[in-house]
Every structure is written in structure tokens, then in C-alpha cells.
Amino acid sequence: MNRARLQLDTQHHVGAVDRRIFSGFLEHLGRAVYEGCYDPDSPLSDERGFRRDVLDVLRPLGMPLVRYPGGNFVSCYDWKDGIGPRDQRPARPDYAWRSVESNHFGTDEFMEWCEDLGTEAMMAVNLGTAGTTEAVQLLEYCNHAAGTYWSDLRAKHGHPDPYNVKLWCLGNEMDGPWQAGHVPAQVYAQRADQAALMMKGIDPRIETIICGSSHNRMPTYMEWDREVLEYCWDKVEYISAHRYSNNYRGDSAWFLAEGIEIDRTLDDYAALLNYVRAVKKSNKRVHLSFDEWNVWYRAREGDHANGHWTRAPHLLEEVYNLEDAIVVAQYLTSFLRHADTVKVACIAQIVNVIAPILTRPDGLLVQSIYHPFQLFSRYSVGNSLTPVIHGPCYQAGDRGEAPVLDAAASHDERSGTVAIFLVNRSQQAELTVDIEIADGKLGRVLDADIMGGGDVKAANTWENPNRVAPTRGSAAVNATGGLSVRVPAPGLAVVRAELAR
């Protein structure tokens, strides 16, 4: 058994946890929308075609936002195709995923679905094959109260009240040559700047997100981001970052240290944002929207990403295992530790397509990655504490020495509770973590959940749907007001405890 020590101080924190880091992403891709969220032919759907079982399982994730409609899809999407009577909506080819889009689910249906889920919309506009005019028209349709062409059309379609969408993505991955309408950074910056200017002219309450780099292996990484930030600084509130983790090399020790690279990416953006702020001599703060992240590598190439011009093809339906869930937990610990930089984050995606749940006609399957997301979302409240870790390291392939323990914590002043999130990266040895609160003592343990241990390739299946799932953990307060927690190898432990008064 390994042993580590975690030191916390409720006065040492990086600021409040923004609940929007627990957001999701729904794209018109594969079976994410059709046969996922929306399936009017299913007996499991309500009268509007929304899968009730999907909504029931997504609600405990507590997602404040859902990003829509893409993704690569948005860069060829005409949002006007998805409004009005369904029998008059045109079917269109989807360039991004070589599929056929029926447009039976569009802006109004998505807004209704969000209301049922208890979340808010985070809309993306097409700045690839469309531009400022189309973006402003969509904003008018969504947010203008009445008395204009698009707002009155929304009312005619049965929605007299505006949707009041606050957060808007100015395109998607425009740095990527694969993106429809891809242009150099300077050209994109001009498009985004003008779109933001006019959109805020219609509704000054909105916030906008400019496209950053698609991943940190792009040849233009950070240079693209710097250029668009400097040009658009005064018009935007966020810059986006995307990352998909993989274990192509089949090296679990290396993969389980993925948090090191996630931290590095967030540190890169924190440095860039401070640099541009200094260059601009600005009092304004721009933050990070990490609006696509997940593990994705098995269902990525060839037919996995080619719809062969069919409707709702089975695309990108990744099957997740224990090591994937532990990597997902490390994304979340990193977001918490960088709470002063990361204000929005969207797991990509939420149903069927690289998602925590999979559907079939008679039900759904909860995948391993669902559980860490749900635990972090449930318990992360208040300020994100700065953890100090003392413990062993292990050899993580060409990543070198990696700490066995990855950790984050939050402190809710109102309830007097601390939530602690512990990841054991070791495949061999269970980890006991001794936790100290420098400016106080812990009292009663309120919750203790663990998951993991055993085969890193273990996954939930339709026949064995709970193979990888949380169970009750072991956490004990000691005589000095500290806490000892046992974390499986490899695995995750989440503990919530009261501070002694």
C-alpha cells in the first residue's frame, strides 16, 4: 500500500468554482440527437419525441449548459432549415460527418429539451460557410422579445417568449483545415469581431466565445490564439480550448498520467491570457471555455466517422472503461485547480457519440465516465482550494515520473463542508491519503464514494451494466481532526466532510 499526504487551507484558494465547468455538448452527429435525445418512434419518448429515460439519466449530472448544434456540424449548418413545420423542413447533406440531416430537431426543439432537462442553451453560430448576417438573425430569433421579423416568426412557431440565450460560440475549431470555411487566424478574427459587435448590438447582455486552438498539437497552437485574442479582446469574454485524450499506444501507466498534459494546456492558456491582457494594457479579464473534452480514440477513423450519407448513422460510439473514467476525473480535478482560468467546460458529448450514456430501442447503458462527472458535479461547491501533495511517484512511460496522487478540493463556506477528490494513478497499490486542514479540523464525514480497482480495461456492458460504478468508500476522521481515505488502485475517491465548529 502507498501512502500520501494532502494539505489544505480554506483561506488558500483560487476562487469560486463556476458551475458551468460541468456542462455538456450535443451535436448533430451520428445518433446523438436522433435515437439519442429525440426519438419520436420510441415508446420511451414523450409526446414531443424526447427520450424520457435519457432525460432522467442526464439530470443527475447537473449540467448548467449544453452547447449546440456543433461542433464541425455547425460550420455548414443553416439554422433556418430547422424551424417551422417539420414536413416543410429540407433534408440536407452534412459535410462534416457525411450524413443526411433531416432537420426534424432544430432550435425550438432544442430549447424545449433544455427546459425539460433543467439546463440552459449555449449556442454556436456558423462562421465557416455563413457569417455575421446569419448569426445576428439567429440571435434575433432566440433573444429579441417581439416586433421584428425573426422574433415574430418565433412567436408564430409557438414560442412567444424569448429564449434569452446568454452564451454564444463564434464558430467552431476555425483553426482546423478540416473545418468547412477554415481561414487564417487574421481572417477568422475579423469575422468573429464583426459578428460579436453586431450580436451585442442586438443584445448587449450576451457573452461570446472566440475559437482557440483545436488541440495543443496544432502547428499554430498558441500563435493562433494570441492573434485572435489580440484582435477580438474587447468583444469577447472567453476563448475556447479543445482536447481529446487517447491511449493509442496501449500504455496504461502513461495514459493514467494524462492529467499532467491537461494541466500544461491550462497553464498555457493562463499565461497567454495574462500576456495579451498586459499587451493590451487592459483591466478586462478574458477566461477559458474548455468546451470540448473527453477520451476519444477507438471510434475515430474510417467508418467510425463516415456516415455514408445515411440518417442517424452509428458514429463515434466509444465504449469506455475504468482507465477512461480515471482520465475523465483528472480533467475535472484540473478544471477545479484552475478555477480562476476555466469558467466553462463541456464534456463532448452526452448521448451515444463519445458519451457517458448509450441508447438502444429498449433502454440505455450508463458508461464508466458518467460516474466521476456526476460525483464532481454533485459535490464541487464554493471555493477551489489549493492542494499541497506529498507522496510517491511512479514511472509513467515517456512522461517520466508522475505523482501517484492527483487531487482537488472545494470549500463551501455557507454549509461549512469540504469536498475532496482523490485520484490514485497506480495500477498496483492501493493508496491511503492523510488529509490535513491547516486552519481547522474536520468533523463528521457526510459522504464517501470510491470507484475503481482491478482491471483498467473493465467496462460496463448491457449484460453487466454496473461493473464500473461507485461504491461506499472508507474515510475516517482521526484524533487530530484530519482525515484518512483509502483509494483503490487505480481509482477515485470522493469525500465530503463537515468542518468542526
Q: What is the CATH number of the domain that holds 151?
A: 3.20.20.80
Same domain for 42 and 156: yes
Q: What percent of the chain has pLDDT over 90?
A: 97
23 is a domain residue? no
Confidence of residue 127 (pLDDT cuts 50, 70, 90): very high
Q: Residue 453 sits in a domain of what CATH number?
A: 2.60.40.1180
**What pTM did the predictor assign?**
0.97
Same domain for 466 and 344: no
| 342, HSE (Cβ side, Cα atoms, 13 Å) | 30
180 is a domain residue? yes
pLDDT digits (tens, 9 = 90+) for 438-489: 999 998 999 999 999 999 999 999 999 999 999 999 898 988 899 999 999 9
Q: Give the DSSP per-residue string, 160-199.
A: -S-----EEEESS-TT-TTSTT---HHHHHHHHHHHHHHH
1: pLDDT strictly greater than 90: no
pLDDT digits (tens, 9 = 90+) for 91-108: 999 999 999 999 999 999
Residue 492 burial (CB count, 10 A): 29
Same domain for 293 and 238: yes
Confidence of residue 158 (pLDDT cuts 50, 70, 90): very high
344: pLDDT strictly greater than 90: yes
Q: What is the mean pLDDT of the chain?
A: 97
146: pLDDT strictly greater than 80: yes
Same domain for 436 and 366: no
CA 343/CA 286 separation, integer angstroms = 10
Query: What mean pLDDT do residues 377-400 have?
Result: 97
419: pLDDT strictly greater than 90: yes
Residues in the chain: 501
Q: What is the pLDDT of residue 81?
A: 98
User: What is the biggest distance separating any 2 CA atoms in the chain, rounded to whole angstroms?
Assistant: 71
pLDDT digits (tens, 9 = 90+) for 272-287: 999 999 999 999 999 9
Q: Which domain holds residue 252?
A: 28-379
* Residue 222 falls in which region: left (phi positive, over 0), alpha (psi -120 to 50) or beta: left
135: pLDDT strictly greater than 80: yes
Confidence of residue 112 (pLDDT cuts 50, 70, 90): very high
18 is a domain residue? no
501: pLDDT strictly greater than 80: no
Which cell is 335 given? 478544471
- Cα torsion through 296, 26, 370, 422, rounded to 10: 70
Which cell is 191 given? 469575422
Same domain for 390 and 305: no
Q: What is the pLDDT of residue 50?
A: 98
Which cell is 439 given? 486552519
CA 94/CA 76 separation, integer angstroms = 7
Q: Report yes or no: 204 and 143 within 8 Å, Cβ to Cβ.
A: no
226: pLDDT strictly greater than 90: yes
Query: What mean pLDDT do residues 187-211 have?
Result: 98
Query: Cis peptide before 69, with omega less than 30 degrees from 0?
Result: yes
Which sequence positions are flagged as catalytic?
Answer: 173, 292
Confidence of residue 133 (pLDDT cuts 50, 70, 90): very high
Q: Report yes or no: 412 and 19 within 8 Å, Cβ to Cβ.
A: no
Query: Last residue of some domain: 379, 394, 426?
Result: 379
Same domain for 400 and 282: no
Query: Cis peptide before 71, with omega less than 30 degrees from 0?
Result: yes
Same domain for 271 and 292: yes
Domain count, the chain: 2
* Residue 62 falls in which region: left (phi positive, over 0), alpha (psi -120 to 50) or beta: left
Q: What is the pLDDT of residue 480?
A: 87
Same domain for 238 and 121: yes
